[in-house]
Structures are given as structure tokens and as C-alpha cells.
A and B are shown apart, each in its own frame.
Chain A
Amino acid sequence: MSSSSETGAFVQTPSQTVGPFFGYALPYQGGADVVDRTHPAAIRLHGRVFDGAGVGVPDAIVEVWQPDESGVISTELGSFERDGYTFTGFGRVPTTRAGDYTFTTVKPGVAVAGGVAGVAVAGGDATGAGHPEAGAASAAVAVAGAPYALITVFARGLLHHLFTRAYFVDADGAESFESFAQTDATLSTVLADRRATLVASQDGPGSYRFDITLQGDNETVFFDFDA
């Protein structure tokens, strides 16, 4: 057995579409509420999923996975059984007939490497910048990147899910996104004319809009992390 694992004989199982009939299986109560609306830092993250004809996709399901507002990645259980207080970082919501989705969440901080192993959480430093703890992996991790939420899209017609990132930019922050783009290793590789598709832009107090265009002129940048 160990010999086959050393030769890398384990080939991935192919993906198949989520199909149209996930509605009674994957959505769950509280799936859209990464935090409760009464959370002092609660924001709305919303948008529409568009197909290549510019029509909203009514049978998509969107997942969000993100750090909290100080950049800590949660290891808490309870995404399916929300208690209204514990931040688990995960949400899932089906699109409406118009193709819209909405999460209630917080603006993520820049992810802290050690936060996941619990070593960087104790200090109560809410800036999310740094945490150069003595934890194993943290020294090598640059934390200068831009804050974002990982967004995953599934839909009828999508044979393989799509990963994208929603980078948060405030209403007055167009410049800050360009400065992110220069410091963030991933963004700097994305062609300038497509970067804007990765921006969750502020469209009101505590509200950020992130449309997802599966195909076409404004096609969202989707990522392949297996590179």
C-alpha cells in the first residue's frame, strides 16, 4: 500500500455537476448567516450569478469561506447548527430565481497563518497584520496580501465548481485596490483589465456587491489552485 502511495497512483475522482435538484439537500437554515445581523461588524455580501447571455442563474449555489475581521481562520464546529455567536467562517446559499445571493458576514482581515493552529489567536491583536509568532509555518508566510473571501460556485451546467475571490474595497478605495494588486502575489498576475471582476465593491453602508459572471465580456476571474 505504501508503495502505491509513493508512486502517486491515486488519481483524483472526476467532478460532476451539482445538477438542478440540490435544493432540498445542500442549503440549510442559517447557511447565509456567517454572522448574525446584529453582529457589530456585520456586512452584506451579495451579488448576482450571470450566465454567458447575461441572464441570472437561478439554480446556482454559492459558498463562502473566509477569516474573521482580524484575519483569524476559524477552527470552530457549528456551520450547520448556528448558535448565532460562534464564527465558523463558512456559509452556503442558493441563488434566487433572479440569480441573486446574499450572505451576512464580516469583512475579512488578511488571513493570519498561525491562526489556524491556534498559536496566534491569544494575543487579542485585532489588526490582523503580522502575528510573527514562533509557530511552525508562520515565519515563511507573507501577510501583506489583500483581504478577501474565497467564493465557490456550483450550478446546473457547471461540470466543475469554480473558485474565485472577493476582494473588499470601500467606496473611496479604488486606489487601495491597485496598491493591493501590486503587493498581492495573485492579483499582480491577473491582467489589469480583468482585476476589477475580483472586487467586492461597496454599494451602501455595510454592503458589498460581488457579481459572478460565468462567461462573457465581464467574465469573472476563476482560479486554479492545483498549479
Chain B
Amino acid sequence: MAETTQAEISAEIAAIASEVRAAANAGAPPELQARRDYAPYRSSVLRHPTHALVKADPEEIERTSPAFGHTDVDLFEADLTIQHPGEPLGERIVVAGKVLDGEGRPVRNQLIEVWQANASGRYVHKRDQHPAPLDPNFTGVGRVMTGDDGSYRLITIKPGPYPWRNHLNAWRPAHIHFSLFGSAFTQRLVTQMYFPGDPLFALDPIYQSVVDPAAQQRMVSEYDHDLSVPEWALGYRWNIVLTGPKSTWMEQDDDHE
């Protein structure tokens, strides 16, 4: 059986996008999230629930989150370029921004974990068989705690795009994986940060699983010359917004008043 082509995948992506545009024109609210069932991303077909999620009020355990801090995460872990004796190859970058909740308030002192491919598009993972070189000076794993203003700053290497087997000639746009905790477990988020202007966006079913164009843009960092460090690194800014929380910010509310 012939492998699915990019043209076939692109046609599926376009059909779903046009349905969503038509719905939006008819007044439907925008889709803020990735679709769980997104057939162009073949791995989602057998792995998405078919029943509607059961709406539930979060109980105490869901309104809280594990405590991470200085005993869990070293300050140096925010720099992915200093984990080995030598300098990694590739384009050194600063990635910085703020983590906010749905009302724009800083998500303070919470954990961010990141992982990514190296500059050649290769992960340090035994199942990554992409024949691109590993970099002995780059692992591609980092962690950082947000500050009191919700801010974070990472130093890393710009990851390369890489091939995968969703269909023939499938390539992922360059991205950095982010895992975040908020002050409530309901805010938990795992996502990917992309780089502006990537020509692979239109072709990539994982990026396109977020169908609304405005929502897609929320996954894309912006080049920020003020974050660039002269003679040293380019800067990308990416702010992240977690859901809610509705009930865990009472003390801060009082402080605001």
C-alpha cells in the first residue's frame, strides 16, 4: 500500500480548516484548543476519547499543585548550553516570557520543563532514528522556576526541524516542548513553542490540530530584539497563558484591592 502523501494530508487539513471557517462565519465561538480527534495526525485516531469529557467541579486536590522549588530545580538548569564540557553547535538563543493565568495574573514560582531536538533536528532519544548527528555537547533538557512576576528565561540552541513518519516526507516545524504546572493541577499544560515564519506550519498536522489561526499564533514565539544579547544570542519572546484558576488566587486578589 502506498504511503499517504503530503498532498493527501494537506487536503485533509484544508477540509477541516474550511469547516471551521464556515462555522466561525456562522457565529460559532473560536476553537481555543487543539482538537483531540484530528485524523491528519494519524496517531490521534486510536488515542482520543470518543465520549464527551465529564464536566466536574475541581475538588481540593485539583485546585492545588505539587510544590517544586530550589530543592528540585537548580538555577543552572535554565541554561541548556552549559551541561557539557564544550559549547553546543547551532544558533544560541534566549527564550523568555511570562506565564500568566486566564486573568492575566502571574503564575508565580511554578515549574517549567523543556526538551527539544538539537540544531540538526536530532533528539537524544533511543527511538529517534533520524540520521542526523547527535551533539555531544547538547542534551536538550532544561528546567526553570517562574519568578514572582511569572517570568522565565532559558538559554538554548535553536532546534532544527526533523522528519517523522506520519506520512511520506513529513517534517515537523522547529519547536521546543514545554511542560508547565500552575498553582492548580487543572492548569497543567504540555505544549510546543514554535518559531515565527516557519514554512512547515501549513504542512504539519500537529500544529494544524489547533485549527483557529488566532489560536495557532499563541503557540508561536516572536523575535524580540530587546531580548537579543549583543555578540552572543538572539532573543525570542513567548508568553504562556494557563487556564483559570477560579479559586486559588483569593489572597492575591485581596492584595490588589
Contacting residues of chain A (162-219) with chain B, CB-CB under 8 angstroms: 162-163, 185-186, 189-190, 194, 214-216, 219
Q: B61 contacts A157, CB within 8 Å?
A: no
- Choose from B32, B64, B100 the contact partner of A116 (Cβ within 8 Å): B64
Chain A 71-82 interface mask (CB, 8 Å, partner B; 1/0): 001111111110
Q: How many angstroms from the CA of A9 to the CA of B104 in the assembled complex? A: 8
The reply to whether the CB of B225 lies closer than 8 angstroms to some CB of chain A is: no
The reply to whether the CB of A57 lies closer than 8 angstroms to some CB of chain B is: yes
* Chain B contact residue count (CB 8 A cutoff): 79
Chain B 230-254 interface mask (CB, 8 Å, partner A; 1/0): 0000000000111110000010000
Given contacts A12-B242, A159-B36, contact A24 B47 (CB under 8 A): no
Chain A 133-164 interface mask (CB, 8 Å, partner B; 1/0): 00011000100010010101011111111110
The bracket for how many chain A residues form the interface is 35 or more
Q: A16 contacts B185, CB within 8 Å?
A: no
Given contacts A14-B34, A65-B66, contact A227 B61 (CB under 8 A): no
Given contacts A26-B113, A51-B47, contact A14 B67 (CB under 8 A): no
The reply to whether the CB of B192 lies closer than 8 angstroms to some CB of chain A is: yes
- Choose from A53, A162, A215 the contact partner of B50 (Cβ within 8 Å): A215
Given contacts A14-B33, A65-B185, A81-B71, contact A159 B209 (CB under 8 A): yes
The reply to whether the CB of A38 lies closer than 8 angstroms to some CB of chain B is: no
The reply to whether the CB of A52 lies closer than 8 angstroms to some CB of chain B is: yes
Q: How many angstroms from the CA of A4 to the CA of B239 in the assembled complex? A: 15
Q: Please give, as numbers and ranges, the residues of chain A lying within 8 Å of B68 by CB-CB distance.
A: 77, 79-80
Q: B127 contacts A23, CB within 8 Å?
A: yes
Closest to A1 in B: B104
Q: How many angstroms from the CA of A7 to the CA of B53 in the assembled complex? A: 28
- Choose from B33, B100, B126, B140 the contact partner of A15 (Cβ within 8 Å): B33
Q: B113 contacts A25, CB within 8 Å?
A: yes
Q: How many angstroms from the CA of A221 to the CA of B49 in the assembled complex? A: 9
- Choose from B34, B61, B67, B103 the contact partner of A67 (Cβ within 8 Å): B61
Contacting residues of chain A (115-145) with chain B, CB-CB under 8 angstroms: 115-116, 136-137, 141, 145
The reply to whether the CB of B14 lies closer than 8 angstroms to some CB of chain A is: no
Given contacts A141-B60, A157-B44, A219-B49, contact A226 B241 (CB under 8 A): no
B65 smallest CB distance to A (angstroms):
7
Q: How many angstroms from the CA of A160 to the CA of B103 in the assembled complex? A: 22
Q: Tell me the A residues contacting B by CB distance below 8 Å.
A: 1, 4-5, 8-26, 51-53, 55, 57, 65-67, 73-81, 88-90, 111-113, 115-116, 136-137, 141, 145, 148, 150, 152, 154-163, 185-186, 189-190, 194, 214-216, 219-227
Q: Tell me the B residues contacting A by CB distance below 8 Å.
A: 32-36, 38, 41, 43-51, 53-62, 64-73, 100-105, 113-115, 117, 123-128, 139-141, 175, 177, 179, 185-186, 188-192, 206-207, 209-210, 215-216, 218-219, 240-244, 250
Q: A111-B59, A111-B60, A221-B54 are in contact. List 11 more A-B contacts (CB 8 A).
A: A12-B189, A16-B219, A18-B177, A55-B46, A159-B34, A186-B57, A189-B54, A214-B46, A214-B47, A214-B49, A215-B47
Q: Can you list 28 A-B pairs with a CB-CB distance of less than 8 A?
A: A8-B103, A14-B34, A14-B218, A16-B175, A16-B192, A18-B190, A19-B192, A21-B123, A21-B125, A52-B45, A53-B46, A65-B65, A66-B61, A76-B67, A77-B69, A90-B66, A136-B250, A150-B62, A156-B43, A160-B33, A186-B56, A189-B56, A190-B54, A215-B47, A215-B48, A219-B51, A223-B54, A225-B58
